[in-house]
Structures are given as structure tokens and as C-alpha cells.
Structure 1
Amino acid sequence: MSVLSFTQLHPITLHSHAHFSPSPFPMSILRRLNLNLPNHRLRRRFATISAAVRQDTTVWTPAPLSQIEPAAESLFHVTIDVSDAPDLATSHTRAGQYLQLKVANSPKPSFLAIASAPKLAISRGVFEFLVKSVAGSTAEALCALKKGDVVEITQAMGNGFDISRIDPPEKFGTVLVFATGSGISPIRSLIESGFGANKRSDVRVYYGARNLQRMAYQDRFKAWESSGVKIVPVLSQPDNTWTGESGFVQAAFKRAKEISSPLSTGAILCGQKEMAEEVTSILVADGVSAEKILKNF
């Protein structure tokens, strides 16, 4: 996952008729306000200071790593033990959710999609991730840790994939799934938590990677296919022995198409922004409803 950081600001709206309690700001801050400013500029300055001094309410919980091992080139399997934090385990309710993670001495948190099915957190007390190590990032620092090292994480967040929009399976027989790189991690969560693939007539996963060395979860493909999911690996830079699909996943899908009934077709996307935009355009142009194209953000 790419590494992001942000501070959530919630500016307040001030009205000229509002009644204020004693100021929460130190006098040293208030003295720096230019009280000769026009009212609207004064209100804006006051709101900015209010946002700046408000504390971050994110709750961080320490948790140890129970496993960390290579998953593919530049990708790592990471398992975090949350058995002592039931609130964390129960916060993961839907495939496609993510959380924030911090590593000691790394200033920026990383946003990581949860790769394991929600039921795994309840039954085994773990979260599993597929992490791409990017130079200079919190993800790189995470991938350099070892079993037993402690990180800090938040509860699961986000709406995940709202599968109810493409249910019941009998009505939406075709589901097309597109993932690139580490974007396969929430797709793994989806497949292994079950979304009625065996009750649908055509479920395809177009999974793009540079080459087979960078393609994670190959050891799970057989089990996924036994659950009713067809895996279509797509390599953008394959070697001379590769006989499967090549190029980008959107191009591979465009060559295949094979949408028998657009009105009974759903799609699930996770990965590069350009891929998601191009696939969405292709699907909508072919008659697939935009409301049936699911993303986890």
C-alpha cells in the first residue's frame, strides 16, 4: 500500500450572535490576533487556530508482529496479533477495509488494506496484510521488522466493498474483479470471506503485476478457483516463456470483453487509479451500471 499521512481538520463556524464560554486559548495566542482585522478575517483566523490546537483523536493500540516473511519481490506477508485487543478484531466487519499503522521512529503512519477475511480476526485474533516495501516509507520500516516487534495500529476503518449492491448472486451472475500489485490484498479478503462466487455464472479476477516474481498469492490461486473464481494473471513485463495475458489489465479485459448481460454484471476494482478509471469507462460504455462498480475508497 502506498504511504499516506494526514491531519484531519474540522473547522468551526462562528456566528456574530454566538455566546462564547471563556476562551480555551492561552493569552499568548490571543494577543497575536490582530483585533483590528475585519470581522470575517478575524473569524477565519480564530477558526484556523482552533483547528491547529485541537488534539488528534486517533486511538492507537500497540500490537506485536506474529509473522513477517517475503510474499513476492518487494512484497511481504505481515501478520499482527490483535488477540489482546478484541475491539480491534471486531472492528473488521467487511472486506476492503483498512487501518493506519505506525512504526517506532517513523513519523508518518501507513494506510494498509487488510488482506485477511474479517472472520480471521475473530477466530484467530490476527490481521494479515500484503505490504509493498517502498524506499524511505513507513512500509519499508515495517518490512524490516521481525516477529515479536511491536507496532501501533488503529481500528479498521472505511466502508469496504458493499457487496449488497451486487446481490443476490442469482441476479448478478457476472462479477469482474480487477487488481494490480498489492491491490490484490483486499481482493483476497473478499474472496476468502465469500461473496457467493460459486452461485454466480462468471466471476473473473484480472490480476496485474510486472512479472510472476512480483505476483503474490499464487499459492492460493487453486483454492480461489475451487470457490468459483477464475484467476486471469496479466503480466506487463513477462519473460519469453509467458503464454498468458500480457500488458495492462484494462487492455487484457478489453480484448476479452465477454459481457453477456451488462444489466446483471457487477465489478470490483482495487489498484492503480489509472486502471480503475479506464476499466470503469469501458464497463459503463458497455452498459454496466456505475452503481454496480465497487471500490474500497
Structure 2
Amino acid sequence: MAVTMPALPNAYVSPSHLPMSILRRLPLRTLTVRHRFTRRRFATLAAARQDTAVWTPTPISLIEPAAESLFHISIDVSDSPDLAASYTLPGQYLQLKVPDVDKPSFLAIASPPSLATTSGAFEFLVKTVAGSTAELLCGLKKGDVVELSPVMGNGFNIDKIEPPEDYPTVLIFATGSGISPIRSLIESGFGAEKRSDVRLYYGARNLQRMAYQDRFKDWESSGVKVVPVLSQPDENWSGETGYVQAAFAKAKKIGSPKGTGAVLCGQRQMAEEVTSLLVGDGVSSEKILKNF
């Protein structure tokens, strides 16, 4: 969220805009104090901007384990039709506050937009991280009330890889809880059945940490080939191992780079390395979609 700084008093001139000759003569302590003052002003403005956001109280309707360290959480937004209707594209996200905690958590919505309009629900896949708002959220129970911000973000701009006949290959990459908005994309439908090669490379440490395994069959039926990739599998695993970028690099098989699109969500290193591989193979960077 962009924060616009107000005009500072005329008596104050930012050190970053002074000539170097003057900067050398200014005491270090003066520069440090003034930089701290700027940071404090910025932090105060950001906090004030957050406090003016519209927060909607909503109850948790379901909370259950989805995998090791991951929880499936459903929130009832049936009494907030405007909030439900504001979710229009897979890949969008929002902020969530838990009781007595000021710091919100950013969460991508895992359910497709249609679920919000038909069932009045937002579903999330939440990774519990020690000391975080997400950890507190995963410790709540059905009926507890949380607060949601308006839905944010532009989502995955699938229009960039439409129509399906022009982009027969779509490569999807996700790691960990990054599968959350990917689920929304797949279950919203993007013409996968009309494309000749749609692959999902989904990485996790092991099967115990891989969510949505019960949905793989339905995803495959919709035209998405699921390729699970485990970085630390047990001895019984016979599928892909290592990282998703390595699994893709080994397989490649891109028929036409100009007719290829990609969707990425998850670990930053993965996203950077996959992007480099795709661009190196001739795929346009404009056809590589991200939701943040």
C-alpha cells in the first residue's frame, strides 16, 4: 500500500538531497537523528493509514489441519456481501487481524471467487509460523471472530495467456503454502481442458507437508497434470525429488515458447530461477504471471 509523505517543514532539508561537500561537514549524529525522524514519521503515517482501513468482523466457520504445519481455514462472509463480491480474480489476497493483535497477516484466498458468491465463504491455507499472527490464527476455533480488510491485488492476469489455442502450454509452479492461490486458479477454470500441455510443479519437503492431495484427481480431470516434487522424501517415494525448478529443468519439453505461459507462486528463489529458465528458453516475461 503506497503511503504519501506530507511536505516537511521548510527548516528541514533531507540529507540525501544535499551536496556531498555539505554532507561531509554535517555531524554524523545530526544525520542519524534526522534519518530516524524521517523513519518515525513514515512509520506513523503507515500505521495511521492502516488504522483507517475498513475492517469487517467475520466468524471462523471451519479450522482443521491441511498438512503438517498447514491449516485449512474457512471464514463466513455471508453477512458481508460487498466483501464477498469484491473477490473477483484468483490470486487476490487480503489482510486478516486476530483479536487483541494489531499486526495483520497477508493471506491469499485459496477458494475460487464463485465460492464466495454461492456459499458466502473465503477459504485459506495458512502456514503456522512461531511468533506470527498466522500462528495465533491457527490456534483459534470455530466461531471465533477475526477481522478482514477489503480484498486486494490484481490477481493472476490470465487474459495475458488467452485464448487457449494461442497459448496451448501453461506451466504452473508452487511451493509450500504458495499452492493456495494456485488452487483458486485451477478451480476457477482457465481453459486447461482446451490446452494441450498444462503442468503443475508443486514442491514440498515431504508428503506430510503437501496440502490438497485429495484434490489432485479433480485437478487432473480438469486438464492439469500434477507433478509433486519432494525435497526430503522417504525411501518409498518414486516421484520427482529435489526442487521444482530442477524438476522442470530436467523435463523442459516446451513445444513453442511463443505459445507458452506460466504462473508462479511460492518461494522467492524458486520464482527467480524458474523465471530465468523460462526466459532463457524464449518465453516472454510478460507471459509469466505472479499475484504479488
From 165, 171, 180, give the equivalent of 1:170. 165
Q: Give structure 1 stretches of 5+ with no counterpart.
A: 1-6, 15-32
From 68, 73, 79, give the equivalent of 1:78. 73
Q: Give structure 2 stretches of 5+ with no counterpart.
A: 16-33
| 8 A contact 1:114–1:185 mirrored in 2 | yes
Alignment correspondent of 2:114: 119
1:264 is aligned to 2:226:
no
- Per the normalisation by structure 2, the TM-score is 0.87
Residues 147 and 255 of structure 1: CA distance in aligned 2, closer, same or farther (over 3 Å): same
Cα drift, residue 87 of structure 1: 1.1
| 8 A contact 1:70–1:77 mirrored in 2 | yes
Alignment correspondent of 2:4: 10
Q: Partner amino acid for 2:218?
A: A
2-side partners of 1:290 and 1:39: how far apart?
40
1:286 is aligned to 2:291:
no
Alignment correspondent of 2:23: none
| 8 A contact 1:89–1:125 mirrored in 2 | yes
The C-alpha deviation readout for 1:239-259, integer Å capped at 9, x for no partner, is 001000000000000000000
Alignment correspondent of 2:142: 147
2-side partners of 1:40 and 1:69: how far apart?
51
Report runs of 4+ in structure 1 exceeding 4 Å deviation. 38-41, 44-51
Alignment correspondent of 1:276: 271
From 102, 105, 109, give the equivalent of 1:107. 102
1:190 is aligned to 2:185:
yes
2-side partners of 1:49 and 1:248: how far apart?
42
Cα drift, residue 12 of structure 1: 2.9
- Per the normalisation by structure 1, the TM-score is 0.86
Q: Partner amino acid for 2:166?
A: K
The C-alpha deviation readout for 1:33-59, integer Å capped at 9, x for no partner, is 8x8x36778xx9899859846553211
Alignment correspondent of 1:161: 156
Cα drift, residue 152 of structure 1: 0.5
Cα drift, residue 238 of structure 1: 0.3
Cα drift, residue 175 of structure 1: 0.1
From 240, 253, 256, give the equivalent of 1:245. 240
| 8 A contact 1:94–1:118 mirrored in 2 | yes
1-side partners of 2:176 and 2:42: how far apart?
41
From 206, 209, 217, give the equivalent of 2:212. 217
Q: Which has the higher helix share?
A: 2
